[in-house]
Amino acid sequence: MEICPLCGRPIEKPKHANRHHLRPLSRGGKGGDIIRLHRICHQKIHSVFTEKELERAYDTIESLLKSPEIRKFVRWVRKKPSGFYDSNKTMNSLRDKRGDWKRRMK
């Protein structure tokens, strides 16, 4: 059984996982390393960091786990069942306030 490299929980079903490019495609990551993460773990990464931040400072699992926000999330999600999924609405609304996504949509 595959294990999520971020949270360490098993990925029991393919529908529970997403592919994550360690270097974002929009930042030159084509052909780069790809890992499989739980959907919730993948969404959390993208709700916390911009593509630029992922490219510059968070392009490995080790560097992601150094982030206090990601560490806090991992401590929380490790207690959940493998198929657990919840959206990160709070983080998304914060990002909207910063304007990150609004700029991209124009």
The predicted-structure confidence for 48-82, as pLDDT tens digits, reads as follows 999 999 988 999 999 999 999 999 999 999 998 78
Are 74 and 7 within 8 A, CB to CB?
A: yes
Is the pTM of the predicted complex or chain greater than 0.95? Answer: no
Structure confidence at residue 4 (pLDDT): 94
Which one-letter amino acid corresponds to residue 4? C
Structure confidence at residue 67 (pLDDT): 96
Gap between the Cα atoms of 86 and 33, Å rounded: 26
- Element counts in the chain: helices (H) and strands (E): 6, 4
H or E segment to which residue 41 belongs: helix 39-48
Report the 3 state secondary structure along 25-84.
HHHCCCCCCEEEEEHHHHHHHHHHCCHHHHHHHCCCHHHHHCCHHHHHHHHHHCCCCCCC
